[in-house]
Amino acid sequence: MEEKSKILIIGATGFLGYNLAETSLKFGHPTFALVRDSAFSDPIKSQKLQFLSHAGATLLKGSLQDEASIVDAVKLVDVVICAVSSKQTLDQKLLIRVIKQLGTIKVLLPSLAQPGLEAPPRDKVTIFGDGNTKAVFMKESDVAAFTISAVDDPRTLNKVVYLRPPGNVYSLNELVEMWETKIGKKLEKLHVLEEELLTKINGTSFPSNSKMLFIYSAFIKGDHTYFDIESSSGVNGTELYPQLKYTTVSEFLDTLI
């Protein structure tokens, strides 16, 4: 049997990172997690780490600000998956530099879009831009399954793996209409045009404006869907792994009614 790649997960106590680590172990990969000291004193994070450790993960103490710990961790693995939050985007600079210097890593894997809400709204909803630009929505556990499947797949080597599952690509207008149908109620729509959103972004420092940056990227510029996937540089992960079942947007919204 071919030996599985050794995987390092950074951000293993977050929503996506935890699913990635769990799936990596499930798929039989030797799995490592780079963990900050503070995580062990957090009850929720500590519980996650305890579960991962019992499941076979190797926990390594360190952080994205500690070059020595990054070097030691990266030397142990074949694949690095960084799943930190968008607020830590700039913190990945040191990680990328270490990976380039070592040259041993073969893969580096990178509520209706209402800021401040944890559930879909039932009275008012904000529409960004004209509301017609499509974006991709996926459950964290599904992203993890596709990501770990791609790790040792030669078809994905040196390529960007895109996820555009049927049933998960929608515009804000389409999402709102679907939600209105499910709850049997029309929502009051507040429109924020591109110029207004840019003003808010420019008037707020990073990382406080990270959610607005995501909204601008996805729903104004269409960065998820404006381009066709070129076979020379990218692959559609949902076409590579048709056997993987995923939750559609409609199915997910049904759980929130």
Whether residues 103 and 123 fall in one domain: no
Name the band, by pLDDT with cuts 50, 70 and 90, for residue 249. Answer: very high
Rounded Cα distance between 34 and 59, Å, is 6
| Mean pLDDT, residues 79-105 | 74
Please indicate whether residue 220 or residue 95 has the higher confidence score (pLDDT): 220
* Tally of domains within the chain: 2
Whether residues 125 and 55 fall in one domain: no
**3-state DSSP call for residue 61?**
strand
Nearest to 240 by CA among 128, 123, 145, 109: 145
Whether residues 72 and 97 fall in one domain: yes
Q: Quick check: 2 pLDDT over 70? A: no
Whether residues 172 and 61 fall in one domain: no
Whether residues 37 and 115 fall in one domain: no
Whether residues 1 and 125 fall in one domain: no
The pLDDT assigned to 35 comes to 93
The pLDDT assigned to 109 comes to 47
Whether residues 167 and 181 fall in one domain: yes
Cis ω before 207 (30° cut-off from 0): yes
- Do you know the residue count of the chain? 257
Whether residues 7 and 95 fall in one domain: yes
Task: List CB contacts of 43: < 8 A, sequence separation 6 or more.
Answer: none
Instruction: Report pLDDT digits (tens) over 183-210.
Output: 999 999 999 999 999 999 999 887 788 8
Instruction: Single out the residue in 110, 132, 155 at which a domain terminates.
Output: 110
Find the angle CA(52)-CA(58)-CA(61) to the nearest 5 degrees: 105
CATH number at residue 180: 3.90.25.10
- Whole-prediction pTM: 0.77
Instruction: Single out the residue in 47, 79, 110 at which a domain terminates.
Output: 110
Distances (CA, A) of 85 to 29, 109, 134, 197: 24, 14, 22, 21
Whether residues 123 and 250 fall in one domain: yes
Q: Quick check: 96 pLDDT over 90? A: no
Q: What is the DSSP letter of 217?
A: I
Nearest to 230 by CA among 159, 126, 148: 159
Whether residues 120 and 76 fall in one domain: no
Rounded Cα distance between 176 and 232, Å, is 36
Instruction: Report pLDDT digits (tens) over 19-41.
Output: 999 999 999 999 999 999 999 99
Instruction: Single out the residue in 88, 110, 132 at which a domain terminates.
Output: 110
The pLDDT assigned to 108 comes to 60
CATH number at residue 29: 3.40.50.720
Domain that holds residue 89: 1-110
Please indicate whether residue 103 or residue 211 has the higher confidence score (pLDDT): 211
Whether residues 80 and 159 fall in one domain: no
**Percent of the chain surpassing pLDDT 70:** 94
Distances (CA, A) of 233 to 146, 157, 159, 162, 236: 18, 10, 5, 11, 11
Q: Quick check: 128 pLDDT over 60? A: yes
